[in-house]
Structure 1
Amino acid sequence: MALYADLHRHLGGSVVPRILWRYFKRHNPDMAQRFPEYPTFEEFYTRKRNTLDEYLELHTLVESVQTEQTLPYFIYRLIRGAYIFENLAYLELRYTPYLRTPEHLNQSQRIEAMTNIVQIVGKASQVKEYPIIISQILCMHSRLPYEVNKAIVELAAQMRDYVCAIDVAGGDSHYGERLDEFIDLYKYARSLGLKTTGHLYETPEGCYPELLPYLMRIGHGIQIPLKHPELLPQLAEANQCLEVCPTTYLKTGTLEDLYQLKTVFDRCFDAGVDIAICTDNAGLHNVRLPFEFENLLTQDVIDFHQLQACQDAAFRHAFAWPYKEPPASLLIGLLNDDSSEEEQELLSV
């Protein structure tokens, strides 16, 4: 059995449509009345949006129900599905903790409440019957004030047992007016020894080379090989990995056809830039990681050799994978050890 790593999955977009619909049926009369039958909800939840901003509005729908009380419910089902249906051995789950705190609290109280959210997510992610290594990436947000984003960075540094890195999210076209703030925050994060990624170069409006030096990985980054291939040698030298999430670009209208990603993969491979294939929002897409692989293969975007290279790169660039090798290599080592013992026993007879 193959075992995979997903380095880019949002907590808000990870809930598959049927589980979210069932939750609404039981606990949210307004949504239950709006979508009395599941097919109409699935069509609404997973359909293509015109822009990234319109697409991101769906996150607010899920964030509103991912509270201190309900997070364990959603996370357990997320992990169960990831283990049984996706064969995940490793998952980095990212989200903005501030947006899971009670809205009636003032800003200072919500900042204090973030610690509890991270602890809840961390403890709920430890499910013995589904042994997946899970770590959190805390997202700063383009629409949150500097004080909150700085508190998110400091929280990540304080809770390293649960958190492996920080990110910035909220639509890459919105960073421009506050670019100096985010550069300052990333500098601060690196000074604290935090690992870093960031939603960047996802759309043509989200290209900020000033942020690149502070990132260890790049969330999406597809506009670099598409529009700015001159930057690829710089990425290769810095060992920066792109977190490419194929279905996202169709759902947000960023790309019209999956085959457009062939240029992304080909140019990155030629330049020696690693790519990890990820899901981003597996629930919003109703597409799991093995299907992302299959879609890329069947539409001739990549070949099997490139797929294997991307799967290996995901473990190599994982922020909290505790081993030097991916799971397949570890299993092969175990099998070889067992075979050697059996051969020695036979020789001794």
Structure 2
Amino acid sequence: MALYADLHRHLGGSVVPRILWRYFKRHNQEMAQRFPKYPAFEEFYTRKRNTLDEYLELHTLVESVQTEQTLPYFIYRLIRGAYIFENLAYLELRYTPYLRTPEHLSQNQRIDEMAKIVQIVGKASQVHEYPIIISQILCMHSRLPYEVNKAIVELAANMGDYVCAIDVAGGDSHYGDRLDEFISLYQYARSLGLKTTGHLYETPQGCYPALLPYLMRIGHGIQIPLKYPELLPEIARSNQCLEVCPTTYLKTGTLEDLSELKVVFDRCFDAGVDIAICTDNAGLHNVRLPFEYENLLTQDVIDFKQLQACQDAAFRHAFAWPHKERPASLLTDLLKDNSPEKMLLSV
């Protein structure tokens, strides 16, 4: 029974460790020799890193094998797990298409190849045996040149059948020197009618208020309630939703303990700011969305009423969810329509 929505999951970090290890065993001799036994690979792949930058280096490991040929393999297994083990009805999958193109090509050739990658991801996401609504968010990247990032925005605008929004990723501490550039790209995106989110206020070094007006959702954003709660009323008025990914902050060293998120949730709820609970990199963490929920509940970060509010917010702020209600409400109405009393009345 699919009931949940995940608004923030990276394609690069979505591959669970055992599937990635099996792929390496079959196709990558160097990695197979380095990790002949699975437990050692799982420990390496999922262990805590000291900084966000160190953590993001793991994405390059997966990006290098997510090619035109292999993407359907990884996406099928991603969707199968999301449907069977996570009860997902809706998933927004984000990634930088340029980083899935062949490195030996020129920049212009790689830009031209990006549309093919988006199409492959889109078609591979249509798995009829696992009926999940999946849409793509294309990520600009802090370490890519302006020309590539602009091409990513234009690609998103031209492939609306597959793409629901744009993002900027690559570590929020790296935006500062190019802030005007990213503002102009977001302005351009909004002028093209694109929906927007962005990795922002994830770390204390990634707080750029000048970018906030251009975002419809805020990727992470936890430093706002933690360090800049005076911004919360305007975020509430702007109907911006925070995409909070609990396990990420432990894995990157941003937070020491999950209990620190209680301030984030409490201040956001008090200010009327919506939060969607997300996984970010479910494979890197080996933690699926229901376990994110459970961890927050069992550690008294949120209560059940707050959890339901976050689940409702996820569907309400979803960029491509086609219904007015979340699946649980639709299912309740369906069950009411097929209740024994109504069936007897119809006889």
Q: Same fold by TM (over 0.5)?
A: yes
Q: CA deviation at 1:345?
A: 5.0
Q: Deviations over 1:22-77 (max 9, x none)?
A: 00000000000011110000000000000000000000000000000000000000
Provide the rounded CA distance (Å) in 1 between the counterparts of 2:204 and 2:263.
16
Provide the rounded CA distance (Å) in 1 between the counterparts of 2:143 and 2:343.
65
Moved over 2 A (4+): 342-349
1:346 is matched with 344
2:82 is matched with 82
Provide the rounded CA distance (Å) in 1 between the counterparts of 2:64 and 2:96.
12
Is residue 239 of structure 1 aligned with residue 259 of structure 2? no
2:316 is matched with 316
Q: Secondary structure, in 3 states, of the residue corresponding to 2:338?
A: helix
Tell me the TM-score normalised to structure 1 length. 0.98
Q: Deviations over 1:65-117 (max 9, x none)?
A: 00000000000000000000000000000000000000000000000000000
Which segment is superposed worse, 330-339 or 125-134? 330-339
Q: Secondary structure, in 3 states, of the residue corresponding to 2:93?
A: strand
The 5 Å alignment of 1:282-297 reads: 282-297=282-297
Provide the rounded CA distance (Å) in 2 between the counterparts of 1:348 and 1:83.
35
Q: Deviations over 1:139-192 (max 9, x none)?
A: 000000000000000000000000000000000000000000000000000000
| Identical pairs, percent | 89
Provide the rounded CA distance (Å) in 1 between the counterparts of 2:123 and 2:74.
13
Is residue 20 of structure 1 aligned with residue 20 of structure 2? yes
Q: Deviations over 1:280-337 (max 9, x none)?
A: 0000000000000000000000000000000000000000000000000001111111
Confirm or deny: 8 A CA contact 2:2 2:89 kept in the other structure: no
The 5 Å alignment of 1:14-53 reads: 14-53=14-53
Q: Secondary structure, in 3 states, of the residue corresponding to 1:140?
A: strand
Q: Note closer, same or farther for the CA distance 1:34–1:345 as it changes in structure 2 (3 Å cut).
A: closer
1:185 is matched with 185
Provide the rounded CA distance (Å) in 2 between the counterparts of 1:277 and 1:41.
28
Provide the rounded CA distance (Å) in 2 between the counterparts of 1:228 and 1:264.
11
Provide the rounded CA distance (Å) in 2 between the counterparts of 1:209 and 1:8.
21
The 5 Å alignment of 1:223-238 reads: 223-238=223-238
The 5 Å alignment of 1:158-173 reads: 158-173=158-173
Provide the rounded CA distance (Å) in 1 between the counterparts of 2:286 and 2:314.
21
Letter in 2 for 1:272: G
1:206 is matched with 206
The 5 Å alignment of 1:72-221 reads: 72-221=72-221
Tell me the TM-score normalised to structure 2 length. 0.99
Provide the rounded CA distance (Å) in 2 between the counterparts of 1:347 and 1:5.
36
Is residue 269 of structure 1 aligned with residue 269 of structure 2? yes
- What CA RMSD, in Å, does the superposition of the two structures yield over aligned residues? 0.9
Letter in 2 for 1:231: L
Letter in 1 for 2:341: E
Provide the rounded CA distance (Å) in 2 between the counterparts of 1:344 and 1:291.
37
Instruction: Report the count of equivalent residues.
Output: 347
Q: Deviations over 1:220-251 (max 9, x none)?
A: 00000000000000000000000000000000
Letter in 2 for 1:143: R
Letter in 2 for 1:343: E
